[in-house]
């Protein structure tokens, strides 16, 4: 049974899912419909990019610990991005990241899941133009959704989003719904928050 989370809420992943190993992190969003003006071209599609920032002691120690469309697999082979969706069109997850919790080396204690709008400033785009944004965690062994966090705040003017984080606490894996919008213009600026 899936747990619906609110902003700031935490849930244990391993406590209620005995033998949990691999988790699918699904992220999704829809673009608010924008119409072209009489003399203006059709607006450019919003390209949201999901990434996983893998931390040691709460810090990003190496840029290789960022999994995104330009680095699809973590060097430990325990976190894999399933590819870039350039438009967010269609039903269900727009991007997925697979996390093998059972094999992540002990030095890594936190995986921050973020989404930024590609070239947000150049394209004059922000999260106020996005609706129905969510993050969900699915048990890969049986394809059962464990928890879901639907973002409901107004993120107008925000160009990036910290959706949530998977973290290790007292030997078990947990998930925290964060939903914090930022004005970081790209992934490079977003990851500096964790250095």
Domains annotated on the chain, with CATH: 3-194 (2.60.60.30)
Q: What is the pLDDT of residue 57?
A: 93
Rounded to whole angstroms, the Cα distance separating 10 from 165 reads 9
Q: How far apart are the two ends of the chain, measured CA to CA in Å?
A: 36
Which residue bears the tokens 């133009």?
Answer: 129
CA angle 1, 8, 80 (to 5 degrees): 65
User: What is the model's pLDDT at position 89?
Assistant: 52
pLDDT for 3: 86
- Mark the ranges of the chain whose per-residue pLDDT is less than 50: 88
Whether 130 and 113 have beta carbons less than 8 Å apart is answered as: no
- In 3D space, the residue among 67, 78, 75, 130 whose CA is nearest the CA of residue 102 turns out to be 78
pLDDT attached to residue 79:
96
Q: How far apart are CA 92 and CA 137, in angstroms?
A: 13
């Amino acid at each position: 049974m899936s747990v619906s989370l609110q902003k700031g809420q935490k849930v244990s992943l391993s406590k209620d899912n005995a033998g949990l190993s691999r988790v699918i992190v699904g992220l999704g969003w829809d673009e608010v419909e924008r119409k072209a003006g009489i003399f203006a071209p059709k607006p450019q599609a919003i390209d949201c990019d999901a990434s996983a920032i893998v931390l040691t002691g709460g810090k990003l120690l190496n840029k290789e610990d960022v999994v995104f469309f330009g680095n699809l697999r973590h060097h430990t082979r325990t976190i894999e991005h399933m590819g870039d969706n350039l438009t967010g069109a269609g039903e269900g997850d727009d991007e997925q990241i697979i996390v093998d919790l059972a094999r992540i080396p002990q030095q890594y204690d936190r995986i921050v899941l973020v989404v930024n709008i590609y070239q947000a400033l150049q394209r004059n785009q922000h999260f106020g133009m996005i609706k129905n944004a969510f993050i969900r965690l699915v048990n890969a062994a049986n394809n059962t959704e464990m928890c879901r966090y639907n973002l409901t705040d107004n993120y107008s003017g925000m160009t990036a989003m910290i959706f949530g984080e998977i973290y290790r606490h007292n030997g078990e894996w947990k998930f925290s719904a964060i939903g914090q919008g930022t004005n970081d213009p790209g992934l490079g600026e977003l990851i500096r928050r964790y250095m």
